[in-house]
């Protein structure tokens, strides 16, 4: 079943196939006899999906599209400085096969014209020409994701007619640009041009460049990212020969063409494009290839200088703990304090690729927040990539906030910001795997600074438990007689999902967490309760089963009114039971209010 992209590519194919301008490269006899109206379009994504239309599996020789890949191999063999001493990177403004050097530097003007490409081939490391060619063929194969083959007929044809390239080779030797036999260097260049590819192969070779040098199908790391940048830079300004300026203006993609009829284009981080159509224009570029790339760039908005709407801000959402309380149940006094000072906190959710532009806008907003913030949380779970400069900017932001007395925490389970553990120093930046833990940390910071009394105590006596606060002394004495005390170690289950109603649990010391486990095995916290709080009310009243697990978060002591004792109260102590039910209903409503605020905000922001 076709997608919207399939339909769009087919539409461009159908429009472009009508163009029969241009002619095949007749100066190489074997290229003059190819079917002139063959036509294929491929678009390969950086996750390995390939969209195809037309003659995408028809073999043809790579020709000058080989140039950026051999240039990349020379860079990998010798480093940028050594290669730069032999080949410049400036547009030539001349035909691709011009017999000339830059008059000032006396070097080939760039590696995309024949003089520069022959020099790059001569720089490929190896003890002899056969070994060096085999390295080139294997390298191209790694980009394509399959073993590419050599076309003897095209090689023989080019060798017989390659007098101009030999003249370029001897010119390079006379200026000491290449060492050794110039005919051997030219022969190696002709061999690399005679490797057979398909349109699909070229799209994956381009996608490997788009994917920072990693083949999207095989995950083979073919080229280092810093060298990918250098190669794509030269392709941007020189890849389409003396038509490069117009190409960059209209299409806006690093590209390379070949007289065999192929064209590749690269949108870094997104896609690789390949077109095959043998009819060439006066610059030596495929007529249909240029037209199809122009249409793809316009209709898919691929121009690499096009700024998307999403690029305006990396901040997806911003809010405070007043809007999104944690699932730690607080005392009424603590809750009132958080309602009052919650705006002194801020949670920022970031998304997309956090490169320079996105990081700059986010850091500028976060750092420019009004004075008086006590705590900031930066959530990067929806960020796909973080550049090194973005990490440095966020670290500078952390230091600046700490100096202003504002603590900072990150929700960064994948360690995108380089934090692999949580530092116990608040100023150094805590790291959390989930947002709820970070929001609770935010609340604790605010409560430590602004709630001087009536904080949650580490333990309470049964007679002081808030659930029993509305009971008369006589009722309290009666109720206490019905309780039994239990102790649980950290991590121990108190009840499990599916257990029948087993009682009302009053937490006297420590903390318990109510959790659910999803189908993937991930555990999600519903709420954490501490001394003076309770659980099991609903299942006890309804006589139902537990829908969640409850386990000790720390060593815990609880007082339990068992289900049997609760049932006996109906006839033996009806007034006590009624008073207890009223208090439990009030507490349940307060708990539901807090939980809904948390869930609604977190659901809306995600």
Q: Which residue among the candidates 51, 64, 257, 507 is catalytic per the annotation?
A: 64
| Class of residue 150 by CB neighbours under 10 A (exposed 0-12, middle 13-18, buried 19+) | middle
- Whole-angstrom Cα distance, residue 121 to residue 136? 9
- Is 64 considered catalytic here? yes
- Is 67 considered catalytic here? yes
Q: Which residue among the candidates 24, 66, 67, 577 is catalytic per the annotation?
A: 67
- Is 249 considered catalytic here? no
Q: Which has the closest alpha carbon to 98: 367, 350, 284?
A: 284
Q: Which has the closest alpha carbon to 205: 259, 252, 137?
A: 137
- Is 92 considered catalytic here? no
- For tokens 């006396």, the residue is 106
Q: Which residue among the candidates 71, 143, 241, 432 is catalytic per the annotation?
A: 241
Which pair of tokens denotes residue 125?
């490391």
- Whole-angstrom Cα distance, residue 253 to residue 245? 11
Tell me if 247 sits within 8 A of 255, measured CB to CB: yes
Tell me if 206 sits within 8 A of 137, measured CB to CB: no
Q: Calculate Rg over the CA atoms of the chain.
A: 35
C-alpha dist (Å) from residue 284 to 95, 271, 507, 540 = 9, 24, 81, 83
- Whole-angstrom Cα distance, residue 285 to residue 291? 10
- Whole-angstrom Cα distance, residue 575 to residue 572? 9
Tell me if 494 sits within 8 A of 512, measured CB to CB: yes
Q: Which residue among the candidates 83, 234, 259, 594 is catalytic per the annotation?
A: 259
Cα torsion 63, 64, 70, 75 to 10°: value is 180
| Class of residue 364 by CB neighbours under 10 A (exposed 0-12, middle 13-18, buried 19+) | exposed
C-alpha dist (Å) from residue 334 to 330, 423, 446, 451, 462 = 6, 26, 10, 7, 21
- What length does the chain have? 606
- Whole-angstrom Cα distance, residue 71 to residue 65? 11
Q: Which residue among the candidates 51, 155, 189, 488 is catalytic per the annotation?
A: 189
- Is 189 considered catalytic here? yes
Q: So which residues are the catalytic ones?
A: 64, 67, 189, 241, 259
């Amino acid at each position: 079943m076709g997608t919207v992209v399939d339909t769009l590519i087919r539409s461009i194919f159908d429009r472009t196939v009508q163009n029969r301008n241009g002619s095949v490269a007749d100066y190489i006899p074997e290229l003059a006899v190819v079917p002139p109206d063959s036509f294929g379009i491929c678009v390969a994504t950086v996750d390995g999906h390939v969209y195809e239309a037309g003659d995408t599996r028809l073999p043809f020789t790579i020709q000058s599209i080989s140039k950026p890949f051999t240039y990349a191999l020379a860079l990998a063999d010798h480093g940028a400085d050594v290669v730069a001493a032999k080949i410049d990177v400036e547009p030539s403004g001349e035909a691709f096969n011009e017999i000339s050097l830059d008059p000032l530097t006396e070097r080939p003007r760039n590696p995309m014209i024949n003089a520069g490409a022959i020099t790059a081939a001569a720089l490929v490391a190896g003890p002899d020409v056969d070994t060096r060619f085999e390295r080139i063929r294997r390298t191209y194969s790694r980009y394509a994701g399959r073993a590419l083959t050599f076309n003897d007929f095209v090689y023989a044809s080019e060798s017989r007619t390659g007098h101009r390239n030999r003249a370029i080779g001897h010119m390079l030797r006379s200026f000491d640009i290449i060492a050794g036999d110039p005919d051997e260097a030219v022969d190696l260049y002709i061999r690399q041009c005679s490797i057979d590819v398909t349109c699909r192969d070229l799209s994956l070779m381009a996608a490997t460049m788009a994917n920072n040098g990693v083949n999207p199908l095989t995950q083979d790391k073919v080229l280092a990212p810093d060298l990918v940048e250098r190669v794509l830079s030269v392709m941007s300004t020189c890849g389409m020969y003396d038509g490069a300026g117009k190409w960059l203006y209209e299409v806006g993609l690093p590209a390379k063409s070949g007289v065999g009829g192929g064209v590749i284009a690269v949108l870094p981080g997104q896609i690789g494009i390949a077109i095959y159509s043998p009819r060439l224009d006066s610059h030596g570029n495929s007529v249909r290839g240029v037209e199809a790339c122009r249409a793809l760039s316009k209709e898919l908005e691929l121009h690499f200088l096009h700024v998307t709407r999403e690029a305006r801000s990396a901040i997806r959402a911003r809010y405070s703990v007043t809007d999104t309380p944690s699932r730690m149940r607080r005392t009424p006094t603590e809750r009132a304090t958080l309602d009052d000072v919650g705006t002194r906190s801020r949670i920022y959710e970031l998304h997309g690729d956090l490169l320079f532009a996105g990081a700059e806008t986010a850091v500028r907003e976060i750092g420019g927040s009004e004075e008086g913030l006590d705590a900031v949380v930066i959530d990067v779970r929806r960020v796909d990539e973080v550049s090194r400069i973005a990490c440095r900017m966020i670290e500078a932001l952390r230091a600046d906030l700490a100096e202003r007395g504002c603590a900072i925490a990150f929700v960064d389970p994948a360690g995108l910001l380089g934090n692999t553990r949580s530092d116990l120093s608040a100023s150094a930046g805590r790291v959390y795997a989930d947002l709820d833990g970070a929001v609770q940390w935010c609340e604790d910071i605010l409560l430590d600074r602004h709630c001087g009394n009536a904080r949650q105590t580490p333990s309470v006596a049964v007679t002081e438990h808030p659930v029993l606060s509305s009971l008369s002394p006589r009722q309290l004495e009666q109720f206490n007689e019905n309780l039994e005390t239990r102790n649980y170690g950290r991590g121990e289950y108190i009840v499990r999902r599916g257990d029948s109603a087993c009682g009302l649990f009053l937490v006297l010391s420590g903390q318990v967490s109510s959790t659910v486990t999803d189908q993937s095995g991930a555990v999600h916290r519903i709420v954490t309760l501490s001394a003076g709080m309770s659980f099991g009310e609903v299942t006890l009243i309804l006589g139902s089963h537990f829908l969640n697990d409850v386990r000790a978060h720390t060593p815990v002591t609880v007082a339990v009114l068992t289900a049997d004792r609760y049932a006996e109260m109906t006839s033996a102590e009806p007034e006590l039971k009624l008073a207890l039910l009223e208090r439990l209903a009030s507490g349940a409503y307060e708990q539901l209010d807090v939980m809904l605020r948390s869930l609604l905000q977190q659901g809306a922001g995600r």
